[in-house]
Amino acid sequence: MVGGGQLARMTHEAGIPLGIRFKLLSDTPQDSAAQVVSDVVIGDYRDLDTLREFARGCDVITFDHEHVPIEHLRALEADGIPVRPGADALVHAQDKGVMRAKLDELGAPSPRHRIVADPADVSAFADEVGGFPVILKTVRGGYDGKGVWFVRTQEDAEAPFKAGVPVLAEEKVDFTRELAANIVRSPHGQAVAYPVVESRQVDGVCDTVIAPAPGLDAELAGQAQELALRIAKDLGVVGHLAVELFETTDGRILVNELAMRPHNSGHWTQDGAITSQFANHVRAVLDLPLGDPRPRGTWTVMANVLGGDYPDMYQAYLHCMARDPQLKIHMYGKDVKPGRKVGHVNTYGDDLDEVLERARHAAGYLRGTIVE
């Protein structure tokens, strides 16, 4: 796996019971996955020679992030190395302009959008979609809300153009909530769909995920799953695909973006599904039969733990573990910095309010925003 973040750490964990030998290319020995994987190469994924050297002896290469340059992926493929997902699929997760164009071609529902040339063109786009505000996104390099601007005037529209990357304008969608349709697909075309989940963001960062999305119309849920399966098939995705969606106030779903790797909206599956997203990602990239994606219980809630004031979790652990013996804690071994994702918790049960409260309490306590 290329990339040493928490997704690699948890993918490695899921491969252990399958007896998979896992090799990691990581930026530094301190990275989340590099701390726990025994076969680690420290190096720069942007360097083709490093990637080639790393790939030697690997049966298959997969990714913790979407940032490996496409031309390097194509070079590895030309060397005969199975790259999963492959370059032709991953380009859609790397570049929001390419993704939108492809989704249009597939007839997948998107917010109205187009590439804009400059602030005056943003104004023209705003006129086309019924006025400001509009959303601007740099087509590459964004994550956790960085690279996304809510723009209310033409003057506001200058900042996104400073990065020197093409800028995509989107209508501001009136949505009631954000959903994610997560599926896993293997090279020979087997695919499984997880229940559609609700994802709640705070300050552009995923805060809580509820599985399944409460009150979601069964037909709309089915449409979302079918859409994700169709996108995966048409783009040739192998492994886990997260399709982030908006549920609009008028009862439609629109695609926000695609992620071709295990995803934060699928962390609940570690404790709430028969087969986790990580285990199924490993199975898919190795072209093994996929595991059952169905939930184990009625409700599962995932809450992210962000870094707060306490670098030492010991006291918080005592409290959280004693208060809720069913709580599942997943920490990433990262240094605690304010606002950084350092772990998550999963809770499950039959009463959604109670399950939500337990997850929020634990995540807040571990962060230090809840003290009793």
Mask for 112-151, x = binds ligand ADP (CB under 6 A): -----------------------x-x----xxxxxxx---
Strands (E), 172-229: 175-185, 191-193, 197-202, 205-211
CB of 359 to ligand ADP, least distance (A): 20
Query: Interface with ligand ADP by CB under 6 A: which range of 33-41, 159-167, 171-179, 267-275?
Result: 171-179
> Quick one: which of 332, 340, 334, 335 has its CA closest to 307?
340
Q: Which CB, 144 or 287, lies closer to ligand ADP?
A: 144
Q: How far is the CB of 269 from ligand ADP (least distance, A)?
A: 20
User: Rule CB under 6 A: is residue 111 a binding residue for ligand ADP?
Assistant: yes
Q: Are 41 and 23 in contact (CB under 8 A)?
A: yes
- Closest approach of ligand ADP to the CB of residue 363, in Å: 19
Report in angstroms how near the CB of residue 173 gets to ligand ADP at its nearest: 4
Residue 257 interacting with ligand ADP (CB under 6 A) = yes
CA proximity to 192, closest of 134, 275, 307? 275
The site map against ligand ADP for 206-245 (x = CB under 6 A) is --------------------------------------x-
Positions of E strands within 50-202? 113-116, 134-138, 148-151, 167-171, 175-185, 191-193, 197-202
Nearest Cα residue to 176 out of 103, 120, 241, 250:
250
* Closest CB to ligand ADP among residues 100, 283: 100
Count the Cβ atoms, other than its own, within 10 Å of residue 62.
25
CB-nearer residue toward ligand ADP: 255 or 279: 255
Range 105-126 burial, b when 16+ CB lie within 10 A, else e: eeebbbbebbebeebebbbebb
CB-nearer residue toward ligand ADP: 93 or 285: 93
Which structure tokens are listed for 339? 């606002």
Largest CA distance in the chain: 58
Residues making contact with ligand ADP (CB under 6 A): 111, 135, 137, 142-148, 170, 172-173, 178, 201, 204, 244, 256-257
